[in-house]
Amino acid sequence: MSAATDMTPTPASGKAAANGFATRRTFAIISHPDAGKTTLTEKLLLAGGAINMAGAVKARGENRRARSDWMEIEQSRGISVTSSVMTFEREGITFNLLDTPGHSDFSEDTYRTLTAVDSAIMVVDAAKGIEAQTRKLFEICRLRDIPIITFVNKVDREGRSPFEVLDELEEALALSVSPQVWPVGMGTDFQGCYDFASNEFLYSKTRANGTFDSVKPMSGIDDPELTKMLPAHVAERFHEEAELARDGYAEFDTDAYRQGHLTPVIFGSALRDFSVDQLLKLVARYAPPPRPQPSDKGAVSPETKDVSAFVFKVQANMDPNHRDRVAFVRFCSGHFKRGMKLNHVRSGKPLAINNPIYFFAQERALTEEAFAGDVIGIPNHGTLRVGDTLTEAEPFRFTGLPSFAPEVMRRVRLEDTMRMKQLRRALEDLAEEGLVQVFKPMIGSNWIVGVVGPLQLDVLASRIRGEYKTEIGFEPVPYSTARWITSDDEKKLRDFMKDNVMQVAQDRDERPVYLPKSDWELRYARERNPDIRFEETRELV
């Protein structure tokens, strides 16, 4: 958020809005750290006219990941918030780019963000191929049938052969690949990229280290003009490769892509801006508009007349001077207008949405309307939680936003016991954001927190210090994880809780949770109590 936050209402999105949801492309970028996600985001925003200077998104590379710097960046709330969702328009299409947290620790938050997109761009480093985090995120996309466009980045550097990368994609991810834009030379031989669909050669007039600035239409890959422009050995190799690439891989097929069986592949360089425009065009042309979203009453089509939406992310303390929160809401149907009263299904109460905020790259503004696919922020004082559904007509609940069992558990130690109230507030707020899960043991008074990855503990302590002026430490607990316990037989559940009172706690919604000390103990408890379900995830709300 810029200091000069513009809160004057603006028409949501001009011409695109008039066409409603069909013009929305809501997507995320998934990648392994360092593959170039930040650079590509920046260049996409530049291509979409959302920013006019590269380097504006956030700090990059090692700097960002160095732990302390990274947390400082997280703490300067404006930056992390404006990059949670970035909306921009081009040629009548409204792009909503949702940021997935870069660090592997935040899988839960990432998972939830991916519930709010209709497609994804997977960035792969040409030299490294598919890395651990890419694969993990890819699996989440596959689970949710999210179609993927692949951007093989850094072709201006020495990398693996494009064929090696394509074959790896095909084999490791069990996907058909369809190359769309091909590198002309790589590393020191890099001359530009060739777009197979439009038969255009993308090159740099200034050559060495130059950024892409020229497009030359060609009659085909054999155009003598192209051969003339390239060093002989590069031209020869390109012809050979291009023929093989076009003959040896699947042709692009919109249905296969949208069903998640095929990924179009673009080779390019985010840093030097090669193929970024081609990527944006591909998203505009082929990425799916808003898809039906699952709910407890069946899938909700974006064509449904009544407005419906769900909260996939909550950010507390965006503005440290006001204890406000912003709930990020994805619309799934209808035509929302500012001031509308929607049912807040969890509480059963109506909620007037008077201050819906659109997030542009560097600023935010009130918006007058939104369609399915759009993502807006709703400032509130804690009413809205992750997983909440908002509806215009009959109440129902969107499904598929789970909470995962934590893998790291700690007891919270309060350094100054006078600050109990602040601690409770902090844990409630940050649990609501999804940063941490909070458990209250049946016996004993200290809170137990659970996270999916250990870095989250550092972030937790640092945010409680910064935002709630409260020092905390962590102590080990003997528990290895947590399982939500439910049963159709109330008495059996009560008995189990009584027998295991030292290892039972409540989550923040007062649902009972069993805290086993080891996998073995969990297995044993399961065997001994066949009527009790030990659940690893639970649906939010």
- Tell me if 185 is assigned to a ligand binding site: no
Nearer to ligand G4P, 35 or 386 (CB): 35
Going residue by residue from 145 to 184, which x/- string records binding to ligand G4P, judged by CB under 6 A? --------xx-xx---------------------------
**Longest Cα separation, the chain:** 83
36 binds ligand G4P (CB under 6 A): yes
Nearer to ligand G4P, 62 or 415 (CB): 62
Task: Measure Cα distances from 313 to 1, 52, 112, 114, 336 in Å.
Answer: 17, 28, 7, 11, 19
Query: How does DSSP assign 375-432, residue by residue?
Result: EEEEEESS---TT-EEESSS---B---EEEPPSEEEEEEESSGGGHHHHHHHHHHHHH
- Tell me if 499 is assigned to a ligand binding site: no
- Tell me if 103 is assigned to a ligand binding site: yes
CA 249 to chain centre: 29
For 32, other C-beta atoms within 10 Å of its C-beta total 23
99 binds ligand G4P (CB under 6 A): no
- Tell me if 33 is assigned to a ligand binding site: yes
3-state secondary structure of 532: strand
Nearer to ligand G4P, 165 or 414 (CB): 165
CB of 29 to ligand G4P, least distance (A): 8
Contact region with ligand G4P (CB under 6 A), list: 264-272, 337-345, 487-495, 500-508:
264-272
CB of 204 to ligand G4P, least distance (A): 13
Under 8 Å between Cβ of 456 and 105? yes
Q: Residues 26, 31, 94, 133: which binds ligand G4P (CB under 6 A)? A: 31
Under 8 Å between Cβ of 391 and 300? no
- Tell me if 34 is assigned to a ligand binding site: yes
CA dist., res. 428 & res. 167, Å (int): 47
- Tell me if 205 is assigned to a ligand binding site: no
Under 8 Å between Cβ of 391 and 295? no
CA dist., res. 331 & res. 97, Å (int): 14
In terms of residues, how long is the chain?
541
CA dist., res. 441 & res. 512, Å (int): 10
Q: Residues 13, 23, 26, 39: which binds ligand G4P (CB under 6 A)? A: 39
CB of 66 to ligand G4P, least distance (A): 11
Q: Residues 11, 49, 61, 339: which binds ligand G4P (CB under 6 A)? A: 61
Give 487: exposed, middle or buried? Use CB within 10 Å, 0-12, 13-18, 19+.
middle
For 57, other C-beta atoms within 10 Å of its C-beta total 24
35 binds ligand G4P (CB under 6 A): yes
Q: Residues 10, 19, 56, 60: which binds ligand G4P (CB under 6 A)? A: 60
CB of 455 to ligand G4P, least distance (A): 15
271 binds ligand G4P (CB under 6 A): yes
- Tell me if 446 is assigned to a ligand binding site: no
Q: Residues 13, 23, 26, 38: which binds ligand G4P (CB under 6 A)? A: 38
Q: Which residues contact 329 (CB under 8 A, 6 or more apart)?
A: 309, 310, 311, 312, 375, 376, 377, 378, 384, 390
DSSP class of residue 228? Answer: H
- Tell me if 156 is assigned to a ligand binding site: yes
- Tell me if 69 is assigned to a ligand binding site: no
Q: Residues 22, 33, 142, 365: which binds ligand G4P (CB under 6 A)? A: 33
Residues that bind ligand G4P (CB under 6 A): 31, 33-39, 60-62, 102, 153-154, 156-157, 269-272
- The annotated binding site for GTP is made up of 31-38, 99-103, 153-156
